[in-house]
Amino acid sequence: GEDVEQSLFLSVREGDSSVINCTYTDSSSTYLYWYKQEPGAGLQLLTYIFSNMDMKQDQRLTVLLNKKDKHLSLRIADTQTGDSAIYFCAESIRQAGTALIFGKGTTLSVSS
Amino acid sequence: EPEVTQTPSHQVTQMGQEVILRCVPISNHLYFYWYRQILGQKVEFLVSFYNNEISEKSEIFDDQFSVERPDGSNFTLKIRSTKLEDSAMYFCASSESGTYGYTFGSGTRLTVV
């Protein structure tokens, strides 16, 4: 069945780059997403990538997709303390209205 | 920026009681969803709703669950007879196109005692 796996924790220093990794199992994924969850808040869509793309850049965020290895990564450049949160990788595998399959989330801790 | 609003933010209920979790999706969105997150576990899909009917549901969404769009703005999740294992954060989401850009609410933390 479908599964999305992420490492649980990442700790970086302010100003460094953070790279959060995700692997997924379903090769028919259409869209892959990164969501951010701050304490007590909902899931905020950070960015998404369509499965026929290799890379997407959006300001400090770079998403890399390796379809062969079913590996997705999120790079945050110049990480700030405000980036501390839980980051969820998610995939959707069918057409409109489909469910998202989430990973367990990676807790990013940024120290000053 | 448009938001998905969920109420209440926290609900405590006794086992066996019925609860209704409420959501106001973004007004021009057509697809609506409920997800839940048990503490320390993954965010899990429960149900999607489009054109006034359920379009997809997971194994979790059994007969004790139901959804309704009673008017043009609200989208509700009813749990008929709550169990301890229903304790979780419940997230509502909506989407204009159903393919990307889901907007999630802040969640309702349900505690069943």
Q: How confident is the model at residue A96 (pLDDT cuts 50, 70, 90)?
A: low
Which SS3 state, helix, strand or coil, does residue B8 take? coil
Q: Do A43 and B95 touch (CB under 8 A)?
A: no
Nearest neighbour of B45 by CB, restricted to A42, A100, A105: A100
DSSP code per residue over B14-65: -TT--EEEEEE--TT--EEEEEEE-TTS-EEEEEEEETTEEEEE-TT--TTE
pLDDT at res. A79: 98
| Sites in chain B below the pLDDT cut of 50 | none
Could you report the per-residue pLDDT of B77-106, keeping only the tens digit for each?
A: 999 999 999 999 999 999 987 777 689 999
> What are A18-72's pLDDT values in tens digits?
999 999 987 777 789 999 999 878 889 899 998 888 999 999 999 999 999 999 9
Residue in chain B lying closest to A41 (CA): B106
> Cβ contacts (< 8 Å) between A103 and chain B: which residues?
42
Give me the pLDDT at residue A78, please. 97
